[in-house]
Amino acid sequence: MASRGSVGASHLRLPFDPAAATRLSWHLGEALASSATRTNTLHAADAPVRANVYDVDGPTSLVVVRTPAGRERHYELPSADAGDVLAVARSRGFRVG
């Protein structure tokens, strides 16, 4: 179930503005990711954090963040914000590739 109030752990550096995202349940996130096209992979420069950005049909995009502990967190972003995720990610120390 989606929840705007619970975006993620405050200690986890995310490649996007958490205020613009909605955290999804693992089951919903996995279902969306399995039917979507991955467009980019982001890597944190100084931490073992990786994120995959997916193009989801409709008005949203999906970002799947793999935490240093190996857990996956799924976030929904409005499509207008998804175009900015690369610029925000770079400003937060992530690289594309």
Q: Domain residues for 28?
A: 23-96
In angstroms, rounded to a whole number, what is the distance separating the alpha carbons of residues 76 and 7?
10
Looking at the 3D structure of the chain, how many domains does it have?
1
Residue 17 belongs to some domain of the structure: no
The string of DSSP codes covering 42-95 is EEESSSS-EEEEEE-SSSEEEEEEE-TTS-EEEEEEEHHHHTTHHHHHHHTTEE
Q: What is the mean pLDDT of the chain?
A: 82
Residue pair 79/9 in contact (Cβ under 8 Å)? The answer is no
pTM value is 0.80
In-domain check, residue 46: yes
The CB-side HSE value for 69 (13 A sphere, CA atoms) comes to: 6
Residue 75 in domain:
yes
Residue pLDDT, tens place only, 50-78: 999 988 877 778 999 998 888 999 999 88
